[in-house]
Amino acid sequence: MCVGLKVPMNRRRQTAAVLAFMCILPISLGCYFLTAWLFYASYYNYFPYSIVTHYSGVAFPYTLIPLVVYIVWLVWIDKAPQTGSRTASFRKWGMWNHFRDYFPIDLHKTTDLDPKAGEYPPFV
């Protein structure tokens, strides 16, 4: 019998949450390089029978809609630079609970810290 079938469902959710978080960087880099290649390919006319080559001076059509959506989100919706945090709905995703439980950490108080001293480095 396969050992993987005996893994509890809660542990599988934790692993899936960590896997999703760890895949963000490679996926975003892949999207970046795909977009760069599409710009390059449209500029050097690698799509000879496409209407894309006629409008490549304006914007590349495959990336125009995501670009506009991102700019709208960045300018009008995202307030993280002003407030210093993300929206509460993003922080309340159940995925973060599974991500937290994948790395069990216990904090033990060893000394009282001065509340007026500000922030302490993590190794103190």
The three-class DSSP label of residue 98 is helix
**pTM across the whole model:** 0.55
Residue 87: inside a domain: yes
In angstroms, the CA 89 to CA 97 distance is 13
Distance CA(84)–CA(79), nearest Å, equals: 8
Q: What is the pLDDT of residues 29-72, one digit of tens each?
A: 888 887 777 777 766 666 555 555 455 444 456 666 777 788 88
Q: Would residue 86 count as lying in a domain?
A: yes
Q: Does residue 112 lie within any of the structural domains?
A: no
Q: 18 with 99: CB under 8 angstroms?
A: yes
Domain that holds residue 54: 7-102
Report yes or no on 121 lying in a domain: no
Per the structure block, which two tokens stand in for 50?
């496409």
Given a contact cutoff of 8 angstroms between Cβ atoms, the answer to whether 11 and 22 are in contact is no
Structural domains in the chain (count) = 1
